[in-house]
Structure 1
Amino acid sequence: MTSMQEETRPVGRCPVAHGFDAMGDDYYRDPAAHLAAVRDASPVFWYPHLNAWIVTRREDCLTVLSDWQTYSSAANSAADVPEKHRAVYPPDLVSKMIVGQDPPGHTETRSVAQRGFIKERMDRLQPEIEARAHRIIDRFENNGSANLLEEYSLELTTQTIMALLGLGYEHEAMLRQLRDDLFAVLSSAHEPLPEPARTEVWDRFVEANLKLRAIVEERRDSTADDIISVMASARARDGSYALPTPQIALHVSEFAAAGTDTTAQAMTNAVIFLSQNPQALQDALAEPELWPRVFEETVRRRPSSTFTSRRVTRDVELSGVRISAGDMVWVALASANTDPDHVDRPFEFDIHRPDPTDHLAFTAGRHTCLGNPRPGPGRHGTAGAVRAAAVAAPGRHGRAGLPAHGAAAGAPLAPGALGRRGCRAVPDADRAHPQPGGHRAHRGVRRCRRPEPEPSGRRGPAAVEGRGARRRACAERGR
């Protein structure tokens, strides 16, 4: 690490991984490969820019994820609510986010929220998702190019989550803004938002939540099966409503962010991987049942969230490293997914692996992603959307293609080729590793030009909606 990092490292926090830089180009190109370079020598190490321990081995990651009493999620949703909003948005409401709860509260909340993600309904949406995918592609096909993340993946996931929530197009602008504001609110727990951004974000966030509360109230007695109606009408054993209205609105805010961002990243990354692995594309085109495996292998190799975090509640030891109660632990999901002790040929993109779902991209244990149906048709909607984009990708089958802006038709998509606002968008066939699809792609560090670094997926010391180093880290912690 740099001398500055050495100077800021608290006394006694050893070991550190001197080659690890979550803001560097190597990490940006491939978080898993960058973590692998330090994993053998430092399977658990202190990273001062996050004030946290990084855990890289799959076995240690599973230890953390499976023991909520020792490794708590409660620190993942702390945020300082402005005084002007506390009457309608009390600070303890923020602590009820699903990503920041431990049992028993988490168990009760998740049991209600899970009812809105029933496999049958998600399966029914599959044809509509694919139809929407083709309509989106048709809209800009005549242009010959598009930003795949922004104009296709994020557009499609936004439309899909709106359908799942039962929200009409009149709420589309609100939902899109709410997605980014939710990340900024979470990030502010780790790096305060400067004014006037803090006031602007919180004003919009609270206003959107008040509108959602009104929608929840309208659906309290609904028999519809959209997520809001299902959660609003759910009853406890005593006949009362299972969750209060403000809390349901908060969870809808979570779904607006997680349900669009991470899936969009995975879809975009899949197209990049297929562009660099033409045989995998040919295999999937020849055998359509392989498309769900394309999705699984994509998120194994490059999960949309590089990390998830927990706070240690008692002194522990992982891989010989002593960690004190109160310390933060960041679980490197990307590293666990490419641990050679568990995965053969971990850095190859192989859609024929014996168990394609044997990865931690959706974490594990009580906080496994809500929108992650078990293997089967439930994942085909996303797989179908990937197929539609892959077929339309540069030079495929006579279609105009969807290269990133400035990409030549037929050229392999390169790291950063599909980045969001200000990220690199130039194809480079000589670069070996695929880049996340921009935006919050790998919950690590965002490598864009930085007049105003957005909440992106690239978090090292960065975070969710990173407008600064530590702020980018927040999304990772929230899983």
Structure 2
Amino acid sequence: MGDARLAVSLRAEQLNVWLLRQFGDVLGEMTRPLTGESPYPFFAGVRERAPMVRSKSGVWLTGRYSTANAIMRDRRFGVRTNAGVSSAAVLAKALAELEIDEFLGLDPPGQTRMRALMAPSFSPSANKIYRARVEQIVHRVLDRVPSRGPFDVVTDFGEPIPQAVIADIMGAPPKYHARLAHIAKQIGLLTDPLVGFSRLREIRRLMTETKAMFGEMVGQRRAEGIDEAPTDMIGTLLLASTKQEVPLREIQALLIATLVAGTENTVSLLGNAVHNLLEHPAQWARLVADPALSLRAMEETMRYDSTTLFTMRYPHEDVEIESFRLKANDPVVLLIGGANHDPAVFEDPETFDITRSNAADHLTFAAGRYFCVGAPLARLEGEIALRALAERMPGLRRAGHPVYRTSVGFRGLKALPAAA
């Protein structure tokens, strides 16, 4: 897609949602860019209105846990239409000319193949191998954080940990780490529904560079010989290529997907976790007193202040959900942030409580066959990072106001001043 056509397509999308907003349409309100404003009152309004609410544009929305969870687990729904069109259609067209295999959301059989190739690198058994490596990275990062005086939770803690972890797990040589960290930060909000033309053009340039970089890494490793017991993703994918056909462009796409999804989401999770712990001093004190609560603190963060606010599904046939009839390919928006605050599932949902017994039932990682393949790693990073922070900086406090990213579909911080 040429630049002119791409710009027109993006402006048309932005105009459509702007017009919906002017008429008070539910989809227009959902796509209002946020810079820190809480989206949860809006989600509550949709949730309380009905199990399914329909926009004037024909898009369905649900903010109820039971409905969203059922749709996520219903194999009649996919992340694309029957014609293969996704909610990121313009973005997909923009990237198509770069000859990068699609990775932004696939339905079977492509999704099944992608998960099978990625699974060995993100399995619970792989996490056992990664644990010591993640611990080393976390403590190395904290060694560089001032023990006294102000620092930024996002840039000095939240960003460097997942950036280093993903580079290590992929098997990227050290000479690439700094550049990969920069690229991951720049393209982190790749799938935001209202990404602008200038940013999309920059993403295309970075994608081209990243594809070439991963091509170099894979070529170097292939020349060194295939490892029969790999401990990183490049080695695992090369081993898989000896047993089945795995083209280079597919390996590059999987590595790009890992870089994008495995970095920025965890950055936001760590930032949101520390922010909410410091906003609720009693909860921070509880974690300091018992650092073993770090994983539960991470789960409660994902429930209480989800980084991903919504996701899309499309029925592949006519279906009936909660007595509402949906036609094949009707877009359905699952308001994850609303479902995670549903009082029918989470008692007193507006309270941040790191001892909540069912916090891990949140839908931030989705459910069913589209459950996030990287969830075990994200949980491992959060558990280790928060535990180390509580143990090493028990007197941590905010030293300024949080600064949020401007986004429609994601919730995360750009800055969070703190001091120990």
TM-score (norm 1): 0.71
- Counterpart contact for 1:77–1:94, Cα < 8 Å: no
Counterpart AA for 1:310 = R
- Counterpart contact for 2:309–2:335, Cα < 8 Å: yes
- Counterpart contact for 1:271–1:390, Cα < 8 Å: no
1:32 paired with 2:35, answer: no
1:247 paired with 2:255, answer: no
Cα deviation for residue 191 of structure 1 reads: 5.8
After the TM superposition, which residues 142-291 of structure 1 pair with which residues of structure 2 at under 5 Å, given as runs?
144-180=149-185, 182=187, 186=191, 194=197, 198-220=200-222, 221-223=226-228, 224-235=230-241, 239-241=243-245, 243-291=246-294
Structure 1 residues without counterparts, runs of 5 or longer:
408-416, 424-437, 449-479
Q: Distance in 1 between matches of 2:269 and 2:206?
A: 28
Counterpart AA for 1:168 = P
Q: Which residue of 1 aligns with 2:65?
A: 58
Aligned partner of 2:376 among 373, 376, 399? 373
Counterpart AA for 1:208 = T
Overall identity of the aligned pairs, in %: 23
SS of structure 2 residue aligned to 1:343: coil
SS of structure 1 residue aligned to 2:306: coil
Total equivalences in the alignment:
390
Q: Which residue of 2 aligns with 1:67?
A: 74
Q: Distance in 1 between matches of 2:177 and 2:33?
A: 35
Q: Distance in 2 between matches of 1:193 and 1:274?
A: 33
Cα deviation for residue 199 of structure 1 reads: 4.6
Q: Distance in 1 between matches of 2:131 and 2:18?
A: 53
- Counterpart contact for 1:144–1:402, Cα < 8 Å: no
After the TM superposition, which residues 54-453 of structure 1 pair with which residues of structure 2 at under 5 Å, given as runs?
54-73=61-80, 74=84, 75-76=86-87, 78=89, 79=91, 86=97, 89-90=98-99, 93-95=100-102, 97=103, 99-141=104-146, 144-180=149-185, 182=187, 186=191, 194=197, 198-220=200-222, 221-223=226-228, 224-235=230-241, 239-241=243-245, 243-373=246-376, 379-390=379-390, 396-397=394-395, 401=396, 403=398, 407=400, 417-419=401-403, 423=404, 438=405, 443-444=409-410
* Structure 2 CA distance for partners of 1:380 and 1:321, relative to 1, 3 Å: same
Give the structure with the larger helix fraction.
2
Q: Distance in 1 between matches of 2:258 and 2:373?
A: 9
Q: Distance in 2 between matches of 1:294 and 1:273?
A: 10
Q: Distance in 1 between matches of 2:386 and 2:160?
A: 13
Comparing 363-372 with 163-172, which one deviates more in the overlay? 163-172
Q: Distance in 2 between matches of 1:116 and 1:249?
A: 15
Q: Deviations for 1:342-398, whole angstroms, at most 9, x for unmatched residues?
A: 221122222223334212111001111111229xxx9444212113334566xx44x
Q: Distance in 1 between matches of 2:154 and 2:413?
A: 16
Cα deviation for residue 235 of structure 1 reads: 4.5
Q: Distance in 1 between matches of 2:112 and 2:92?
A: 25
Counterpart AA for 1:383 = E
Q: Which residue of 2 aligns with 1:474?
A: none
Q: Deviations for 1:392-450, whole angstroms, at most 9, x for unmatched residues?
A: 66xx44xxx4645xx2xxxxxxxxx333xxx4xxxxxxxxxxxxxx477x8347899xx
Cα deviation for residue 231 of structure 1 reads: 1.5
Cα deviation for residue 304 of structure 1 reads: 1.4
* Structure 2 CA distance for partners of 1:198 and 1:334, relative to 1, 3 Å: closer
Q: Distance in 2 between matches of 1:34 and 1:164?
A: 38
Q: Distance in 1 between matches of 2:413 and 2:136?
A: 33
- Counterpart contact for 1:60–1:319, Cα < 8 Å: yes
Cα deviation for residue 244 of structure 1 reads: 1.4
* Structure 2 CA distance for partners of 1:43 and 1:392, relative to 1, 3 Å: farther
Structure 2 residues without counterparts, runs of 5 or longer:
1-14, 415-420
Q: Which residue of 1 aligns with 2:9?
A: none
Cα deviation for residue 6 of structure 1 reads: 10
Cα deviation for residue 32 of structure 1 reads: 3.0
Comparing 258-267 with 113-122, which one deviates more in the overlay? 113-122
- Counterpart contact for 2:318–2:325, Cα < 8 Å: yes
- Counterpart contact for 1:315–1:322, Cα < 8 Å: yes
Q: Deviations for 1:215-258, whole angstroms, at most 9, x for unmatched residues?
A: 2233342332101210221147xx333x2111111111111111
Comparing 164-173 with 349-358, which one deviates more in the overlay? 349-358
SS of structure 2 residue aligned to 1:54: strand
Counterpart AA for 1:278 = P
- Counterpart contact for 1:125–1:381, Cα < 8 Å: no
- Counterpart contact for 1:158–1:260, Cα < 8 Å: yes
1:23 paired with 2:32, answer: yes
Q: Distance in 2 between matches of 1:149 and 1:213?
A: 30
Q: Distance in 1 between matches of 2:388 and 2:406?
A: 21
Q: Distance in 1 between matches of 2:64 and 2:107?
A: 24
Q: Distance in 2 between matches of 1:354 and 1:392?
A: 26
Q: Distance in 2 between matches of 1:198 and 1:327?
A: 27
Q: Distance in 1 between matches of 2:202 and 2:16?
A: 33
